[in-house]
Amino acid sequence: MLRRMEMADVDELMDIFSDPVAMRYYPGTKSRQEAEEWVLRVLRSYREHGFGLWVAVLEGSGEFAGQCGLTVQVVEGKDEVEIGYLFLRKFWGRGLATEAARAVRDHGFNTLGYERLVSLIDPGNLASRRVAEKVGLRLEKEVWKWGKEICVYAISKAR
C-alpha cells in the first residue's frame, strides 16, 4: 500500500539513504539533514503537483518497505513525469517495487490523466531497468543528465 510521506518517516528513510549499496546509483549516501530536505521536496511536490513520492508499506503489518511515486524531472529541456522507486535492501527481490510502480503508473494515467510517464535509470542499474520493463516501460533513448549517461525508459497511455 502507498501512503503520503511525512517528516516522521525520516528515520526509516535513513535506512535506505545511509545504505551505500542502495545508494550506489545515486551521488552518494545521504545525511539526516539531506533526508529531511528530501522529505521537504516531496511535501512541496504534493502541494505544487498533487503528487510526489509515496511511502510503500507492507499490507497487514504496515511496516515501512520503501518509497515509490511520481516526480517532475527536466529531460532535454522538457518536463517529464518520472516513476521512481527506492526500497529497503531487506525487501529486495520480492516484487514490491514492481507492484508499487504498477500502481503508480495506473494512478498517473487514470487518475492524474498523464499521457506519458518515464523512468530515468543509470545504465548499470539492472534491477531498476528490469522493474521498468516489467511495468511496461521501454528504453527510448540515452541522455546526459546528473553528469552521466542516463537511460530514459518511457510508456504511453495508448500503448
Ligand X SMILES: CC(C)(COP(=O)(O)OP(=O)(O)OC[C@H]1O[C@@H](n2cnc3c(N)ncnc32)[C@H](O)[C@@H]1OP(=O)(O)O)[C@@H](O)C(=O)NCCC(=O)NCCS
Rank residues 51 and 85 by Cβ distance to ligand X and give the closer one.
85
- Smallest distance, ligand X to C-beta of residue 105, A: 13
Binding mask 43-82 for ligand X (x = CB under 6 A): ----------------------------------------
| CB 55, CB 77: distance < 8 Å | no
Quick one: cell of 121?
535509470
Any contact of residue 126 with ligand X (CB under 6 A)? yes
CB closer to ligand X out of 104 and 131 = 131
**Residue type present at position 74:** V
Q: Is 86 in the site for ligand X (CB under 6 A)?
A: yes
Contacts 24+ apart (CB under 8 A), 20-29: 21/89, 22/86, 22/87, 22/88, 22/89, 24/125, 25/121, 25/122, 25/124, 25/125, 25/128, 27/146
Does 29 sit near ligand X (CB under 6 A)? Answer: no
**Alpha-carbon gap, residue 123 to 154, rounded angstroms:** 15
Q: Which of residues 130-159 bind ligand X (CB under 6 A)?
A: 130-131
Distance in Å, CB of 53 to ligand X, minimum:
11
Among 25, 29, 46, 57, binds ligand X (CB under 6 A): 25
Cβ of residue 42: shortest distance to ligand X, in angstroms? 15
- CA–CA gap between residue 32 and residue 108 (Å, rounded): 30
137 C-beta neighbours (distance < 10 Å), count: 24
Binding site for ligand X (CB under 6 A): 22, 25, 85-87, 92-98, 121, 125-128, 130-131
